[in-house]
Amino acid sequence: MHPFFKKASYTILTSATVFALISCSGQDKTAQAATNDLATPAPSSAPVLVTGLPDFTKLVDHISPAVVNIRTTETVQARNQASGQDPICVFFPDFPPCLNQPQQAQPQAPSQERTRGIGSGFIISKDGYILTNHHVIEGSSSITVSLNDKREFKATVVGSDPRTDVAVLKIEGTDLPILNAANSDDIKVGQWVMAAGSPFGLKNSVTAGIVSAINRDTGDYVSFIQTDAAVNPGNSGGPLVNMSGEVIGINSQILSSSGAFAGVALAIPINDALKVANQIRNTGSVNRGRIGVAITPVTDEMLGKLGLSTTEGVLIAEVEANSAAAHAGLRAGDVVLSIDGKAIIDPREFAHAIGESAPGTRFSLEVWRDKQRMTLDVTAAADTAIPA
C-alpha cells in the first residue's frame, strides 16, 4: 500500500478511536448524572405493602377537635429592692457598721405572673365544660385553653377534687366539639386505646397502645386503668379513648424512675371521673360519705385466728370515737364481708363503696365477729377532711 494511504488510514483510525472514547466518556457522565438524581414523588399512591395493621387516622380526626391544651400561670411576689441603703448592708445586715443604720421602709414590690405549667384536657359539653386533672390547675392564677383550630379561651375553675385528681373548667363558647364517654366498667385488658394531649407542650400529639391492666391499685383513692400508650409530662388531663373515639379514662400518672414514660401510664376511669365532675358541676364541690374506720386487708396469717377460710373482706383496724361506725356498733377486729349484699373483696372495694356515697346513705354491713356472722346498719356522715 502506498505510504500516503497508510498514513491516511492511520489518521482516520486514530480519529475514530478518539471520537469513540469521547462518546463513551459523555455517556458515562450522563449515566452518572442520572444515577445521582434525587428520586421524585410517584405520580400516584404506591400500593400498600403491609396490611392488617390498625389505622388510627380516622380516630385522630374524630377526637382532635375536642382535645385542648391547658397553660397555667401563677402569681408571685417580686422581691423588694433596697433604696438608699448601703449595698453591703443589704446582703450582710449583721455586719457591725450596718447594725445602727436606720431601716428604710420600702414600697411593696408589684406581683408578677409567671408560667406554672402545661397540661391537657377535653371538652365534654357544647357550652364549654372541660375535664382535666386537679394537679394540672392546682395553684394557678389564670388558665388559658387552646383548641386544635387555634382558638384560645380564658377558663374558670368550676371545682377541683384533689382526692380523685379531677377538675372541671369552663370556657365561654357555643356548639363546641365534644367527646362522649364510654362505660369504663366494660373495658378489657388487651384492647387498643389512644392517648391524646400535649406532652412536653407539643400540642395535638397522639400515641397508641393497649389496656395493660384494670383496677390497678396504687394506694390512691382511685383504681386506675393501666396502659402502655406513651404518656409524658403535659399529657396529664388528656383523654384515653377507645377505637370508637369514646373516652374511657383521664390520663393522670406515669410510673417512672426518670420522670419520663417508661411503659406504664395510669388513667382515671371515666365512670369515676364523671361522678366527681357531675357533683362539681351541680354544686361546686364533692360531698362524700365516711363512717370513720381504718381498714386493712385480711391476710393468710389471720385466717386461723379469725376462723375464716378466705381472705375476702376487710379487717376493721380502728374505729374513731363518736363516728358513724362507732354509733353503729362496729369494733376493731370485725371483718366486713359485704355491703348491701355485695361481697367485699378487698379494702379498695370497701373504700369505693363508702367514699362514693352521699352523706346520709344507709348501709347494711355483713360482719364477721367472734367466728359468727351478724348484720349492722351504719349511716354515712359527711367527709369534711378533704374539700373539693
Rg of the chain on CA atoms, in Å:
35
Active site annotation includes 236: yes
Active site annotation includes 135: yes
How many beta carbons lie within 10 A of that of residue 329, not counting itself? Answer: 15
* Three-state secondary structure call for residue 185: helix
DSSP string covering 330-370, please? --TT-EEEEETTEEP-SHHHHHHHHHTSPTT-EEEEEEEET
Q: Which of 301, 297, 304, 286 is nearest to 387 (CA)?
A: 286
Provide φ and ψ at 359, rounded to 5°: -55, 140
Residue 189 is placed in which grid cell?
A: 385488658
Q: Among 62, 64, 135, 352, which one carries the catalytic annotation?
A: 135
* Count of CA atoms in the C-beta half-sphere (13 A) of 114: 5
Contact 134, 161 (CB under 8 A): yes
DSSP string covering 368-382, please? EETTEEEEEEEE-EE
Distance from C-alpha of 221 to C-alpha of 252, rounded to nearest angstrom:
13
Active site annotation includes 165: yes
Q: Among 120, 160, 161, 165, which one carries the catalytic annotation?
A: 165
Distance from C-alpha of 82 to C-alpha of 103, rounded to nearest angstrom:
10
Distance from C-alpha of 135 to C-alpha of 29, rounded to nearest angstrom:
66
Distance from C-alpha of 172 to C-alpha of 194, rounded to nearest angstrom:
28
Instruction: Report the b/e string of 300-325 with b at 16+ CB within 10 A.
Output: eeeeeebebeebbbbbbeebeeebbb
SS (H, E, C) 107-129: CCCCEEEEEEEEEEEEECCCCCE
Give Cα 301 to chain centroid, integer Å.
38
Q: Among 120, 184, 205, 236, which one carries the catalytic annotation?
A: 236
| Euclidean distance between the first and the last CA atom of the chain, given in angstroms as a whole number | 117
Side chain identity, residue 109: A
CB within 8 A of 234, min separation 6: which ones? Answer: 118, 119, 120, 197, 198, 199, 200, 201, 202
- Which residues are annotated as catalytic? 135, 165, 236
